[in-house]
Structure 1
Amino acid sequence: MKNLLKNLKNLLITNTYLLRKLKNLLLDNLDILLFLIIIPIKLIKFDRLIYPEYTHYKLIIKPIMSSTVCLLSIAVIFKSKIRTRLLYIFDILISILIIADTVYFSYFKDIISIGVLKNGVMLGGVKSSVTSLITLSDFLYFVDVLILIPILFIYKKHKRNELKLAFRASLFLILLIPAGYINGKAIYNMSVSQPNLLQTMYNKVYIDKFLGTLDFHVLDLYNVTQNKISNSKKLSSKTENNIRNALNKNSSNAPSVMTGRYKGKNLIIIQVEALQQFVINSKVENQEITPNLNRWINKSLYFNNYFYQVSSGNTSDAEFLSNNSFYPASSGAAYYLYAGNTYSSLAKEMNDNNYYTAVLHGYKEGFWNRNVMYKAQKFKDFFGEKSFNLNETVGLGLSDKSFLRQSLTKLKSFSEPYYSFVITLSSHYPYDDTTGYGDFNVGSYDGTLLGDYLKGIHYTDAQLGEFLDNLEKSGIMDNSVVVLYGDHYAIPKDKINDLYDFQNIKNPTDLDWYQLQKVPMFIHFPKDDNKGVNNEYSGQIDLYPTIANMFGLPQNYMLGTDLFSTKNRMVIFRNGSFTDGNVFYVSWTNTYYDIKTGNTIAESPKLKKEKDNALVQLQYSDNTLNHNLLKKFTSKKKK
């Protein structure tokens, strides 16, 4: 009995000792445990946000945990107090990064990148857009940061056992090597399943979705660094010749009935802010949303399968595509990244054919780096905010009503022939200024973003109708070709369900989403010639070659094709998606859709070739812009 009691006493002492040791061990490493719990939860929550329809925790948990452990391995090298501070700083930085990604994604349907951050000054001008996107729930990512403040203050008083440097270094390797292997394997698997994706970063959402936010941003940093290094090196002569041949092949369109037919006529291009095709010939509460555009479409040649192809540069990307026939930058905005390049732009070729060229836009001259980029594209004049009487404000700035009236006065003063690029503003996101909108009834959509947009675009439609009517009354239309198109989407992806409801789309697919990304484009000819509908699938990159053909301009160094002489063209999007008019490939799910049936189809050798070609075209565009190849090509041509 004595032995039994003695054994029980010893056991109790041992257990108490073990419990004390375990307690001390947990307290000594509480910062590590919290980091390993909190950070993955935040990263998974964000990953779920960007693609709620897709359940892939088994795929995402490994790279998220391994990237978290990689960060942890850096911290464990240091002594305990420094380690705790470092992990807390990591938590703060990751929280800020996720909030920035969340806000950016809700507007651009994309993940923020270093290239985008370079545009921060320009994007900062849209204060109302940014503030309207930030919600209280976004700051939930910061709740733990605040809660941890008193806990860390108390934790600071806990005396921890310090590990020797050799042990900490060993622990660093023990954590880093397996975590790095798991991360590397996930990245390698993606490089096999989606070749060129990690180099081009053309589909940032897809990368984030399968690798997690931390891995994406590390890859982004790596690619920016690599691009800096690679862009400082010359391309091989073979690569340059391949690009030159591809540009010449794309530009050598066969003559058509439109070739040179409008040489010497004025050209007026109107880029309309956030004008999407779904409002054309549509009604709400039995009222036409765009009665004036509907009327002018019937007097023009209307392209009803015309897609915007912008990336994170949005409005500026639309301008870049339409005036240069190159794709936007893979990250950031071409208007910022390539303002020092040489261009064979529409304005430059018009100048060479004795045209006066000008841009008219009632907003800040420096926004999107326009004051620099228009000079690079050889526009002779830029009439920005300072050139207009700011007598009425709607939305971000000068109202479309006042802007278009003042622009008409300026057009009348231009020496002919001229090319005028007119950019509207009032229908800019978030459509929350209803000044001058009138009592347009949007029914059940009142108070929603879609309802506000319908009111805003109805207002802009009225101003465009007045402007076009006055062009006709003044006689300018008799000697001018007028092109009008929308620049980019109106409804962000996080508000798309209202649009699906408006379109009566049940059980929407990615194909449905893409089919809603069309923007109206019409060309009005003198005397209402050539009116009708063109059903060919096309995009903004095809506008410049089309105009060049009509006006007898050189068609050199373009990636788009003339809408009048080429059929069955590829419409390629910056994220690698594409359509040939029969099949739609959605890059972020690696899925092909039959457009007629809406069903998914298997990849065939032909479709695989088209997918590869889309990536090649994007790479040609990137290489041309990154290395300023047009400067070399055009200088050699002059010699």
Structure 2
Amino acid sequence: MVMERYGSTGGMTLDIVGGIATFAVSWLLFIAMLAPFVADMMLVVYRDMRFSFKLLASLVKEMEYLKAAPISTDEVQAAYITAGYLVVIAALFALVRTWASWANLALWNPTQIVLNPVNTTNNGKSSKKGAGGVKYEALALEDGTISVEDKSTVKLNETPTMRYQALRVAVVILGLVILPAIAVAVRSVCSPLVAYAALNVTLNELLLHKFEPAPIEVDLTNLIGNKPWVEKFIHKSEKHERFGDDTMFRRTTGFSGDLAFNVSIDNDNPPNVLLIGVESFRYRDSRYLVGEEDPSNLFKGTNLTITPNFDRWAKRGVAMRNIWSSIPTSRSLESALFAQVPYHSNTQSGVTGGKTETKLSGLPQLFSEKGYETYFTTGSTLEFDNWNIFLPSHGFDYVWDARKMKRMAQQSLNISREDWDGIEHRGFGWGVHDDLSFKLLGDFLLKRRAQQIQKTAQGEPKMPMFITHYTITSHEPYKSWPRWYQESAKPDFSAMYEGEQHADRIERYMKARYFTDMELGKFMDRMEKEGFLNDTIVVIFGDHGQAPEIDNSNLHEES
């Protein structure tokens, strides 16, 4: 009686442990299976992106930058709600798996066709004995024997059974392995092939001439007279030769009209060239670029501008209003410096990983061939997307990042270690604020120019500089700037954001934008006063645009 009771308790314990294990494993596997699909759905709805494990690996790699990622409150709330639904549904699924015998997924597993090729039935009697529910099968002695007649029957049926089993295995492998693999392979190959065909000028020209329709008898005219309709979309100042009657594909041979600007180069005194990429700087921020008429009422009927210094210098130079910079900065870097069409991927850019094996020919290489020293300077960290590997391996002789800027500031500007993350807020998660980076850059440029003048006076050839400098303070989420700026007087931009859906975010953006513009103005005024601009070409552009006015600010890339 004691043994029977002990056996019953042990069987119950095994049942409980087995149920808990079934529930836990089922719950985890359900979440693991559905989480990628749920994440994909969320990304499509909120970010126009698709989930991939490369994206997950990229997020893990850049974990330290996620705290500064542009994620709205609505997106976070939607993620929590969706995750809650997923957890609850997974729990319901696990409960069904634990308690319902028909939910034994092993019975639905197609691999059982391979693992258990022969289904055997047992006609013997079975009975449960007391020790933990262990089953004992009762077999008759004669069940282990087989007659001569039965042997011949087995031999006759053996070949058809093996063929049938082989067919079943082949169907499973074809449906579960081969066809999905082919679909994935075709999907992976198509996008690169289409992109290659679209960007291959030689191939396009060949296909254009081969498949262009024959000229039609009726003349297609437009508003500018009896000219082919495609001329409507080509600026009248452009001289060109079209490659067909019904195509815009053409060879530009020159331009006519008034000359906008001209740059004369003295071979004995080549100019320094300075490119300044302003973080998140967009066309609509500049009153000068938008125009005083403000046709879209971007400035809400006011005479305000959040970039007065840029506007002031743009009026003195040549302003180009038709420019596009892709987001994020890594993609615009490809275009601005190397004239590359940005690499289309949600998880990578053309610089990800450093691309040390990729040979590029762009501005750094061009100026190096002309005898220039090439510099890349920024107050930002460069580990993101492996800029710290890409830049020195693709034409830049010297690369300054946040670490170098901090060391220089501590040595020459009396900045202490505590000032970076302390109450002075001289730095933040992305690096060193723009006031210090512009100050350090200006000190260096003036020192190098003095050396250039000295060498020239001694009859030695001038060593010109090509410098690319990127700002960082106006990076999203626009929550950090130096303490002195926070306490200083600033224009009231409330008329431009009051009543907007994301008024607080727009206000922060304008504060950050005005700060960077103010420091840009100080830098340019200093360079002019010291004579550095007398033999320097300066180009100012936005690394990309952003839109704090909408839920997902990354959807507006215009710079």
CA change 1:395–1:442 in 2 (3 A) is farther
Structure 1 match to 2:313: 296
Structure 1 match to 2:352: 336
- Alignment of 1:410 onto 2:427: no
Contact 2:281 2:544 in 1 (8 A): yes
- Alignment of 1:129 onto 2:68: yes
Contact 1:122 1:369 in 2 (8 A): no
CA change 1:340–1:157 in 2 (3 A) is same
Contact 1:80 1:160 in 2 (8 A): no
Cα RMSD, aligned residues only: 4.6
**SS of equivalent residue, structure 1 residue 481:** strand
**SS of equivalent residue, structure 1 residue 408:** helix
Cα offset for 1:443? 1.6
CA change 1:86–1:365 in 2 (3 A) is closer
Match of 1:270 among 270, 273, 276: 276
Matches within 5 A, 1:617-636: none
Cα offset for 1:477? 0.4
Match of 1:463 among 512, 519, 526: 519
Moved more, 299-308 or 155-164: 155-164
Contact 1:128 1:430 in 2 (8 A): no
Structure 2 match to 1:323: 337
Structure 2 match to 1:373: 390
Match of 2:36 among 81, 93, 97: 93
**SS of equivalent residue, structure 1 residue 287:** coil
Q: Which amino acid aligns with 1:454?
A: M
**SS of equivalent residue, structure 2 residue 467:** strand
**SS of equivalent residue, structure 1 residue 403:** helix
CA change 1:157–1:273 in 2 (3 A) is same
CA distance in 2, matches of 1:298, 1:421: 22
1:222-256 Cα offsets, whole Å, 9 max, x none, are 6557889x99xxx99xx79659999xx99997599
- Alignment of 1:158 onto 2:100: yes
**SS of equivalent residue, structure 2 residue 99:** coil
Q: How many residues align?
A: 372
Structure 2 match to 1:441: 492
Q: TM-score, normalised by structure 1?
A: 0.50
Contact 2:265 2:271 in 1 (8 A): no
CA change 1:90–1:336 in 2 (3 A) is same
CA distance in 1, matches of 2:55, 2:109: 40
Cα offset for 1:316? 1.6
Match of 2:401 among 372, 376, 384: 384
CA distance in 2, matches of 1:125, 1:161: 43
CA distance in 2, matches of 1:166, 1:242: 47
1:14-59 Cα offsets, whole Å, 9 max, x none, are xxxxxxxxxxxxxxxxxxxxxxxxxxxxxxxxxxxxxxxxxxxxxx
Cα offset for 1:165? 6.4
Contact 2:30 2:90 in 1 (8 A): no
CA distance in 1, matches of 2:390, 2:49: 24
CA change 1:115–1:378 in 2 (3 A) is farther
CA distance in 2, matches of 1:381, 1:465: 25
CA distance in 2, matches of 1:265, 1:160: 81
Structure 1 unaligned regions, length at least 5: 1-78, 185-214, 500-512, 520-639
Q: Which amino acid aligns with 2:85?
A: D
Contact 1:306 1:518 in 2 (8 A): yes
CA distance in 2, matches of 1:251, 1:424: 37
Contact 2:391 2:399 in 1 (8 A): yes
Q: TM-score, normalised by structure 2?
A: 0.56
Cα offset for 1:121? 6.0
CA change 1:85–1:316 in 2 (3 A) is closer
Contact 1:440 1:455 in 2 (8 A): no
Cα offset for 1:92? 3.1
CA distance in 2, matches of 1:358, 1:167: 60
Moved more, 275-284 or 315-324: 275-284
CA distance in 2, matches of 1:360, 1:491: 26
Structure 1 match to 2:508: 452
Structure 2 match to 1:432: 479
Q: Which amino acid aligns with 2:372?
A: Y
Matches within 5 A, 1:239-638: 242=203, 258=262, 261=265, 264-281=270-287, 283=299, 286-308=303-325, 310-311=326-327, 314-331=328-345, 332-336=348-352, 338-389=355-406, 391=415, 392-393=426-427, 396-414=430-448, 415=452, 416-435=463-482, 436-437=485-486, 438=488, 439-443=490-494, 445=497, 447-491=503-547, 494-495=550-551, 517-519=557-559
CA change 1:122–1:242 in 2 (3 A) is farther
Structure 2 unaligned regions, length at least 5: 1-21, 114-167, 208-248, 288-297, 410-414, 416-425, 453-462
**SS of equivalent residue, structure 2 residue 375:** strand
Cα offset for 1:168? 8.4
CA change 1:423–1:434 in 2 (3 A) is closer
Contact 2:24 2:94 in 1 (8 A): no
Contact 1:321 1:328 in 2 (8 A): yes
CA distance in 2, matches of 1:488, 1:262: 33
CA distance in 1, matches of 2:315, 2:558: 18
**SS of equivalent residue, structure 1 residue 420:** strand
Percent of aligned pairs with the same amino acid: 16
Match of 2:82 among 132, 135, 141: 141
